[in-house]
Amino acid sequence: MTSFDEIYDRAAKRKGGEAALEDMLAGSTVLDGPALGAIPDDRWLSQASRMVFSAGFNWRVVENKWPAHEVAFENFVPGAIANFPDERLHELASDASIIRHGAKIKSVQDNALWFLRVADEYGSFGAMVGQWPVTDFIGLTAKMKKEGTRLGGTTGQYFLRFMGVPSFMATKSVEAALKQFGIIDKGLSTKSGQVEAQAAFNGWMDETGRSLTDLSRVVAMSIDA
């Protein structure tokens, strides 16, 4: 397997040296298990919903409208949204203050119901994420894709990354780098590619002591994709 030192050196050269690269990495937010578990579930649902609404849409528009979404969805408290009647969802689909996308609006309620089921098992959604092994990030994303609504692919990965979960992204840059370094043969949308990538990142975590998030960012910056 390619040494991470080699990947790091390539990223540093592309970004203007080690100091410049480390400055970029300093912007990462990476939380440990207890800190993730302490985040209230309404904040998890808010960020998950924000990523769903952002998928395929202008992120700046979503950002500008997000305060209105907080009001419309009662601050994303899962128990409240789970009990929205159909009439309320229809009203939201006509609310000009938010993004009027019926399927995405319905996904908020679907995910609220899922969050409640997770909370029944783990105590809270945050507790579940906080307990999940960082060495099985692909297992966590697979769970979100299977049990959540519209949380597969990079939508779910961005959700976790923005919440501070140690994560690697299946972006074009990361995928291209992993292929170039001979880590994966197929894309990161395939199970085999995910397993190979996870194994490589686990090895690099042991090698460097760096977080999964920083490793992913360095890999992404190591090549022109």
Residue 140, C-beta contacts closer than 8 angstroms, at least 6 positions apart: 129, 132, 160, 165
pLDDT value, residue 3: 85
pTM: predicted TM-score of the whole model, two decimal places: 0.94
Residue 199, C-beta contacts closer than 8 angstroms, at least 6 positions apart: none
pLDDT in tens, 159-213: 999 999 999 999 999 999 999 999 999 999 999 999 999 999 999 999 999 999 9
| C-alpha gyration radius of the chain | 19
In the structure encoding, which two tokens stand for residue 154, read together?
A: 């990079």
pLDDT value, residue 2: 76
Over 70: is that where the pLDDT of 147 sits?
Answer: yes
In 3D, which of 85, 164, 157, 80 has the Cα closest to residue 116? 80
CA distance 21 to 178: 19
Contact predicate 29/59, CB 8 Å? no
pLDDT value, residue 1: 66
Instruction: Give me the residue label for tokens 């009439």.
Output: 87
Report, as an integer, the average pLDDT of 144-166: 97
Average pLDDT of the residues of the chain: 96
Half-sphere exposure in the Cβ direction for 208 (13 Å, CA): 20
